[in-house]
Amino acid sequence: MSTHTCSGGWVTSCCVLIAVGAVLIASPAAGDDTAPLALDDFFPLVIRRPVLERELEVRVSSTKRRDGRETAIAPALAMPIVSWWQLTLEMPVVFMEPRSGDGADGAGDLELESKFLVFQSSDSRTQLSTGFSLTLPTGSERRDLGGQLAIEPFLSAGTMRGRSYLVAEIAYSWSLNNGGPHPKDQTLTAGVAAGYAVRAWLIPLLELTTVTRVGGSPQPGDRDRRGQPQLYVGPGVNVQLLREVTLGIGFQLPVTNARTFDYTLHGTLDWSF
């Protein structure tokens, strides 16, 4: 039984209030609209970016499902090893609020990502990266906070045309668990995010993602969604608070009947240094 007094809903409400306040503060004191635009200024909601840089990022997500709510706060540190290779370490804290039974909170699954830049245009406005992420079962499987061992290779591309941004990603995940609540699974994920810089510091965006379960067996009580593409749409906005600090907020909604959640709220604070 959890003894933590902070619920996922309260965390989400606080994040939304902070995000709205930050946008209001940033609007009259926005950065120089004549500042040059770059692909690394664009932050999709969930799609991986192809850019490599040194950054500290905190992601907050709150997902409403049929059986309750899950909120995750995930700090991540990305460091370039060389000019074409970057490592990222992410360690989430998860808050579970089931419809029935006791809630739980604690450390989730540690994720280590290795990303390689394989193509970059001469003006740095088109980039292509590939790599893989490794999820380690550091979260408690018994308390439903994680417990997944998985590997996910991916390919990410991005380009700019004028003030328009376009980022796309495709990834394939293998779960290596032998059984339990996270049985062996294979999932194909693809997505595209488009944004437009109405100001140098303000980028509205729209993101489309598809998730298709290719293999594995459903968890007890879940519907078998193998081969059924799940489509999610995600409007959002990036606000550049400082030249090195960007706030991103948005939400995802399911479009198809095949879905694993009702909606997800997203918030990101990124500091490039």
The per-residue pLDDT for 117 is 97
The per-residue pLDDT for 33 is 65
The per-residue pLDDT for 251 is 96
Nearest CA to 202 out of 36, 30, 51, 46 is that of 30
C-alpha–C-alpha distance, residues 86 and 239, integer Å: 25
Q: Where are the chain's structural domains?
A: 8-272
In the block, tokens 């796309």 appear at: 168
The per-residue pLDDT for 36 is 80
Residue 60 near residue 73 (C-beta atoms within 8 A): yes
CATH architecture assignment, domain 8-272: Beta Barrel (2.40)
C-alpha–C-alpha distance, residues 12 and 237, integer Å: 17
Dihedral angle, C-alpha 43, 48, 51, 56, nearest 10 °? 70
Q: What is the Cα Rg of the chain in Å?
A: 19
Per-residue confidence of the chain (273 residues) as pLDDT tens digits? 444 444 444 444 445 544 444 444 444 444 456 668 899 999 999 999 999 999 999 999 999 998 899 999 999 999 999 999 999 999 999 999 998 878 899 999 999 999 999 999 977 699 999 999 999 999 998 888 999 999 999 999 999 999 999 999 999 999 988 655 555 689 999 999 999 999 999 999 999 999 999 876 555 555 666 778 999 999 999 999 998 999 999 999 999 988 999 999 999 999 999
Beta bridge partners of 41: none
Residue 184 CB burial class (10 angstroms; 0-12, 13-18, ≥19) = middle
The per-residue pLDDT for 219 is 56
Nearest CA to 103 out of 75, 58, 71, 63 is that of 71
